[in-house]
Amino acid sequence: MTEVTDIQSDSPTANRSMLLKWSWRELWHGQLWPVAVALTLIIACVFALAALVVRVEKIMVDQGRSMIAADLVFRSANPVEQPTLDKAEQLGLVVSQQIRFGTMTFSDEAMQLVSVKSVESDFPLRGELELKSPSGIHHQVQPGELWLAERLFDLLKVEPGDVLAIGDAELKVSGTIVQEPELSFNPFSQMPAVLIHADDLDSTGAIQPGSRVQYRAYFTGADSQLKALQEQVELEPGQRWLSETSQGRTGDVIEKARQYLSLTLILVILMATATLVLTCMHYASTRTEVVAMMKSLGASKKWLWQWLARQLGMLFGLALVAGVAIGALLEYLLRVPLVDVLPDPLPGIGFTPLVVSVLVALLVAIPGMGIPLLKLVDAPAISVIQRMDSWQTSNKGYLLALLPLAAGLLWLGSNGLMWLTLLGLAAILVILAVVGVAIVRGLKRGRWGAAITLALSRINRSPMATGAQLAALTSSLMLLTVIWLLRSDLLADWQQTLPADAPNVFALNISPEQQRAYLDMLDQQQVMRSEGYPVIRGRITHINEEDLLERSQQGDRQERDESLRRELNLTWRDSIPVHNEVVAGEWQATNGVSVESGIAERLGIALGDTLAFNVNSQPFSAEVTSIREVEWRNMRPNFYFIFTPDVMAKLPATWLVSFRIEADQQAVINQLGRDYPTVTLLDLRTMATRIQGIMQQVSLSLSVLAGLGVVSGLLLVMTLLRLSLAQRRDEIRLYRTLGASRKRVSATVWGEYGIMALLAGVMAAAGAEAVVAALVKWGFELPVSWHPTMWLVVPLLSLLLVVLIIRSMINSLLQPVRG
């Protein structure tokens, strides 16, 4: 009992100094450096990812809120009640009101149906309003001003300074609306915009009993204040809250991007956790003899914990400093590809990334390091002279695993997407581990060369160890594959949502006499267009002779659907549009109607049902012959109900066509407006450009995040392989000492890890396909697609990593033990 006994009998100061020096030496010259590297990687990856997530989410939220001109919007069919405004002011929110309505405006030479927006001087609360007059650029509407959408100047034949009549008021045209933050996504309800000040609204006299008017209140403030306002206001029929996540295309993109950001962060943490646990287990196994020796020399558990605590404290401090520094640098490098689409200045990241990275590291490290170290401290002193693979130890250490579990429950809460992912991963990993062990056992029965036979024998020696190793390698490969495949599926969906050649102009109210000539003019100008669609406004009134209005009055939940409170756009065709997909039934030539799947589900419409409609007091009916999937976000003409021609062709209708105008075809729009003054042109180019800009920004951000997740996964896989080979070092050196040739041992190592890599790669591809299919279908609500190339790429990637790691370590592994 020499050194340890002496150390324990020294003064506390000398004892602490000795422990500190020993701990420092153990950290750098022992086996703790792989743990330090793993912990540094965790902190760096989580910090970089969290920082980028914070920035990207702030940017996306800001962009989304700019699209609605506020942080939150209250929309109502009736004037916004004063108690609602009072509650907002009590909560410290900034409030602005708007009233919008459709009316005719008259110049000396023409008239036009327009959408008038009566705004206050502080509008918009978010985003940018750009108004151009002969005197310059303006950003707010002042009393007495009248601002017109650009195409109204041609339609009304006016210039700035001319006078227009809106109702009873005559207002002088101030200039052009160059850009406004809020834009409508519904081509059927969009009219050219006119902006006036709220003080001039009463003078127009345009709002009369029975007028179709929409009232809006805009709010900005802290998220907690906005949430409190929503909770205090009880919505009535005709009222709705609008936020950045409820605005059609952009809302859907932002919400799915948020889900992906959170999911990527979770998956990176999972990969880091698996690596740290295995690294710590490796460290504990290598220090068993050292601990046993110290125990044999009289070291107590308390002294051992002091020895380990100092090492771990220094380790965590070094990993924290290095991890945050590397993470900050990594986050900066990740922003380089986004420099053209990120705003200037960038939103700050605050302390969230630092707090998240530290908490994640602690929650992962406490059980990941604590459980194997508790077992290590219980190592018996006899292990010095007799190697023991297991010994009796307390199971209380496993209670440490409750810490990250409790944190996960608190963090994830009721997030169904996350729980679906985690449960699916757990189930698939267990299945794949069992399948992997079974495959290896099956391979052993075959006839192979000596090296492969020896490799299979080595793998089959410990089924539990093999299963754990395969599960670790497979999980890392599978998680990085999931990150990349989800990113690919999301981007593919968004590209279909608004492709580069999407229509950006709609022409409505084309008379039957004008329809052929109008389409011919578009073709002569080589304008990309859709087919022409006849359009009639009507209501659905009965399903199988059951009155929908009566059911609605009885309070049936289904009948409160918005589609029943307004007239719908109905059309007829000889066939289903090519951009619609029939999911049930089939198109028939006569007495049929094809129904969009969403409204069919909401109203309980099934194949064979008879639907009754009313158009201008003219009733008619048709049988449901097919159900269609419709992508409402692609800016093409889409309809809830499409009839066969015999049902509706005799009813009076106007025609609709959508087309794409390129930057050099502005003259075509002007010519169409002059030649067909009664046709309503809905120019959506500004809206489409803004949406595509947001989607480009989000897409690039998600690609960078996916790249970070994949890189962190690759680093973790390489760490796992290095640890696994390091564990084999003593065994391989023993083979060399006993006379095994370098060639035989080398072939065995290559065979063993080649088999493991191929198995892990194939199982990772299979598992990733299953997880992504479940997430896409039930989490992101997208169509499921398969990725056959991944079944080749992932195994090849796994083999490549094995080749890199083995080649870097093979020489040191093959050195015999020297006496």
Does residue 484 surpass a pLDDT of 60?
yes
Q: Which of 540-544, 648-652, 695-699 has the highest mean pLDDT?
A: 540-544
Q: Which two tokens stand for residue 361?
A: 């590291």
List strand residue ranges (DSSP E) for 209-356, in order. 213-220, 239-242
- State the CB neighbour count (10 A cutoff) for residue 740: 17
pLDDT of residue 95: 92
C-alpha separations of 774 from 137, 303, 777 in Å: 51, 51, 5
What's the CA gap between 639 and 648, in Å, rounded? 15
Does residue 460 surpass a pLDDT of 80?
no
Report which residue type is found at 228: A
Q: Are the beta carbons of 558 and 602 closer than 8 angstroms?
A: yes
What's the CA gap between 724 and 201, in Å, rounded? 76
With b meaning 16 or more CB within 10 Å and e meaning fewer, what string describes 549-563? Answer: eebbeeeeeebeeeb
Residue 819 — very low, low, confident or very high, per pLDDT cuts 50/70/90? very low
pLDDT in tens, 167-179: 888 889 999 988 8
What does the DSSP assignment read for 666-705? HHHHHHHHHH-TTSEEEE-HHHHHHHHHHHHHHHHHHHHH
Report which residue type is found at 347: P
699: phi then psi, degrees, rounded to nearest 5? -65, -45
Mapped onto helix, strand or coil, the DSSP state of residue 242 is strand
Q: Which two tokens stand for residue 448?
A: 């192979």
What does the DSSP assignment read for 384-439? GTS--S-----GGGGGGGHHHHHHHHHHHTT-HHHHHHHHHHHHHHHHHHHHHHHH
pLDDT in tens, 577-594: 888 888 889 888 888 999
**Cβ neighbourhood burial of 411 (10 Å; 0-12, 13-18, 19+):** middle
Q: Which is nearest to 640 in space by CA: 536, 545, 546?
A: 536
568: phi then psi, degrees, rounded to nearest 5? -110, 160
Give the rounded percent of residues in the chain with a pLDDT score beyond 70: 74
Average pLDDT over residues 489-496: 72
Residue 556 — very low, low, confident or very high, per pLDDT cuts 50/70/90? very low
Q: Are the beta carbons of 489 and 785 closer than 8 angstroms?
A: yes
Phi-psi region for residue 127, left (φ > 0), alpha (ψ -120 to 50) or beta? left
pLDDT of residue 340: 62
Contacts of 474 (CB under 8 A, 6+ apart): 429, 432, 433, 436, 759, 760, 763, 764, 767
Q: Which residue has the higher pLDDT, 358 or 555?
A: 358
Phi-psi region for residue 544, left (φ > 0), alpha (ψ -120 to 50) or beta? left
Does residue 695 surpass a pLDDT of 70?
no
Which single residue is written with the structure tokens 């040739």? 741
pLDDT of residue 675: 82
pLDDT of residue 37: 75
Q: Are the beta carbons of 39 and 365 closer than 8 angstroms?
A: yes
Q: Which is nearest to 623 in space by CA: 599, 669, 589?
A: 589
Q: Which residue has the higher pLDDT, 700 or 370?
A: 370
Q: Which is nearest to 510 in space by CA: 522, 524, 493, 495?
A: 522
pLDDT of residue 169: 86
What's the CA gap between 353 and 359, in Å, rounded? 10
Does residue 279 surpass a pLDDT of 80?
no
526: phi then psi, degrees, rounded to nearest 5? 55, 45
- State the CB neighbour count (10 A cutoff) for residue 180: 21
Q: Which is nearest to 498 in space by CA: 685, 251, 691?
A: 691
What's the CA gap between 564 and 550, in Å, rounded? 12
* Three-state secondary structure readout of 728-757: HHHHHHHHHHCCCCHHHHHHHHHHHHHHHH
Contacts of 258 (CB under 8 A, 6+ apart): 57, 60
Give the rounded percent of residues in the chain with a pLDDT score beyond 90: 8
pLDDT of residue 423: 76
Does residue 98 surpass a pLDDT of 80?
yes
Q: Which two tokens stand for residue 696?
A: 């480009």
pLDDT of residue 783: 77
Which of 249-253, 329-333, 455-459, 477-481 is predicted with the least confidence, judged by mean pLDDT? 249-253
Which single residue is written with the structure tokens 């003259």? 667
Q: Which is nearest to 625 in space by CA: 642, 646, 650?
A: 642
CA angle (198 as vertex; 194, 204 as ends), nearest 5: 70
pLDDT of residue 736: 66
pLDDT of residue 713: 66
Does residue 299 surpass a pLDDT of 80?
no
Q: Which residue has the higher pLDDT, 332 or 792?
A: 792
Does residue 624 surpass a pLDDT of 90?
yes
Which single residue is written with the structure tokens 């609709």? 656
Q: Which residue has the higher pLDDT, 721 or 816?
A: 721
pLDDT in tens, 206-244: 777 656 788 999 999 988 899 999 888 888 877 888 887
What's the CA gap between 330 and 800, in Å, rounded? 24
Strands 72-76 and 239-242: antiparallel
Q: Which two tokens stand for residue 304?
A: 């051992």
Does residue 558 surpass a pLDDT of 50?
no
Q: Which of 181-185, 258-262, 549-553 has the highest mean pLDDT?
A: 258-262
pLDDT of residue 210: 59
pLDDT in tens, 12-70: 565 566 666 666 666 665 566 667 777 887 788 788 777 877 777 777 677 777 778 88
Q: Are the beta carbons of 119 and 265 closer than 8 angstroms?
A: no
Mapped onto helix, strand or coil, the DSSP state of residue 708 is helix
The HSE-up count of residue 295 (CA atoms within 13 Å, CB side) is 19
Domain limits, the chain: 1-67+250-413, 77-83+96-219, 415-499+687-819, 505-683
Contacts of 390 (CB under 8 A, 6+ apart): none
Q: Which residue has the higher pLDDT, 180 or 225?
A: 225
pLDDT of residue 467: 63
Q: Are the beta carbons of 50 and 214 closer than 8 angstroms?
A: no
Q: Which residue has the higher pLDDT, 735 or 607?
A: 607
Does residue 694 surpass a pLDDT of 70?
no
What's the CA gap between 338 and 348, in Å, rounded? 16
Strands 193-197 and 146-149: antiparallel
Q: Residue 206 has what DSSP assignment?
A: -
pLDDT of residue 385: 61
Q: Which residue has the higher pLDDT, 294 or 727?
A: 294
